[in-house]
């Protein structure tokens, strides 16, 4: 008996799982490979951004089961996400080809797809995650941001409050789920202005209160335009902010040259020139 190569997956059971990304904008972001996973599935589970998108998906497959009804105010989102995993895995264990369809990218701010793939592989099933165009990808295009120019930091807003994190104000700062900032119950759909004030107080250590803040939401339907608003940091607590919107802080200071590193690199350049053949 030959031993399988190190790290190669061993599929011993007939069911299989694919968690795919629908992208952000209806229709235009779905890749041919993602479409094929949907069409070849026995059952499709859907966690999408809009009821219209879900209706569009139902035209592609006769058995689409919405995951959205499991969201309930006052119920922990983690309980909902665990239910999603169990729903998908029940069908996989029954030997069916299951496709989980998630808006954007299935691996970004999405606990259930990662967990479902992990559980399926641990139980000997074939499991695959297919990437999609994410809100982050749309943000770069719509706001004209190149993360390679100054650097870009991404934080979930509540994590920024609950843990000691280091902010670099010379780079872009992207904050996700600011509308839920400070919610430790995982059971609310939104937190109020007092919670956003706590976030502003933290950010004011590194940014002036009159610093421009961009509030962004990607378009989910082809007839829509991205929603882009610009306010001052001090105004953020008073602005209506759904959980789907993202907050971007442009750099507040210029990049500071690291003179010690530049001298070290110059010395290496000189050394290479001197040791090069004549």
Instruction: Give the active site residue among 77, 97, 196, 217.
Output: 77
Letter string b/e over residues 15-28, b meaning 16 or more CB atoms within 10 A of that residue's CB: bbbbbbbbbbbbee
Q: How many CB atoms lie within 10 A of CB 215?
A: 20
What are the φ/ψ torsions at residue 192 (nearest 5 degrees)?
-90, -175
| 8 A C-beta contact, residue 193 and residue 237 | yes
Active site residue 103: yes
Q: Of all helices (H) and strands (E), which one includes residue 263?
A: helix 259-275
Active site residue 96: no
Active site residue 230: no
What are the φ/ψ torsions at residue 174 (nearest 5 degrees)?
-110, 125
DSSP 204-229: TTTS-TT-EEEEEE---STT---EEE
Residues contacting 71, CB < 8 A, separation 6+: 77, 80
Instruction: Give the active site residue among 103, 172, 207, 216.
Output: 103
Instruction: Give the active site residue among 81, 172, 207, 216.
Output: 81
| 8 A C-beta contact, residue 104 and residue 21 | yes
What the block records as the tokens of 253 is: 């200071």
Dihedral sign for Cα 76, 78, 82, 88, please: positive
What are the φ/ψ torsions at residue 112 (nearest 5 degrees)?
-60, -45
- The residues annotated with a catalytic role in the active site are 77, 81, 103
């Amino acid at each position: 008996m030959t031993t399988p190569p190190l790290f190669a997956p061993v599929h011993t059971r007939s069911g299989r799982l694919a968690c795919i990304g629908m992208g952000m904008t209806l229709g235009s972001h779905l890749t041919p490979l993602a479409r094929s996973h949907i069409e070849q599935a026995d059952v499709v589970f859907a966690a999408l951004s809009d009821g219209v998108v879900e209706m569009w998906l139902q035209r592609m497959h006769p058995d689409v089961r919405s995951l959205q009804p499991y969201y309930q105010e006052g119920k922990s989102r983690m309980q909902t996400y665990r239910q999603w995993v169990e729903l998908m895995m029940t069908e996989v264990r029954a030997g069916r080809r299951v496709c989980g369809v998630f808006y954007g990218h299935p691996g970004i701010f999405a606990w259930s797809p990662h967990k479902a793939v992990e559980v399926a592989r641990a139980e000997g099933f074939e499991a695959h995650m297919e990437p999609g165009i994410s809100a982050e990808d749309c943000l770069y295009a719509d706001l004209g941001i190149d993360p390679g120019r100054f650097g870009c930091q991404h934080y979930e807003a509540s994590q920024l409050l609950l843990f000691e994190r280091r902010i670099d104000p010379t780079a872009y700062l992207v904050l996700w789920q600011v509308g839920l900032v400070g919610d430790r119950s995982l059971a609310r759909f939104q937190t109020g202005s007092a919670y956003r004030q706590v976030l502003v107080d933290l950010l004011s250590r590194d940014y002036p209160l009159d610093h421009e803040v961009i509030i962004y939401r990607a378009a989910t339907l082809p007839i829509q335009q991205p929603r882009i608003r610009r306010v001052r940091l001090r105004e953020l607590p008073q602005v209506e902010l759904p959980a789907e919107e993202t907050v971007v802080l442009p750099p507040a200071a210029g990049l500071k040259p690291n003179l010690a590193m530049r001298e070290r690199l110059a010395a290496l350049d000189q050394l290479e020139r001197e040791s090069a053949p004549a």
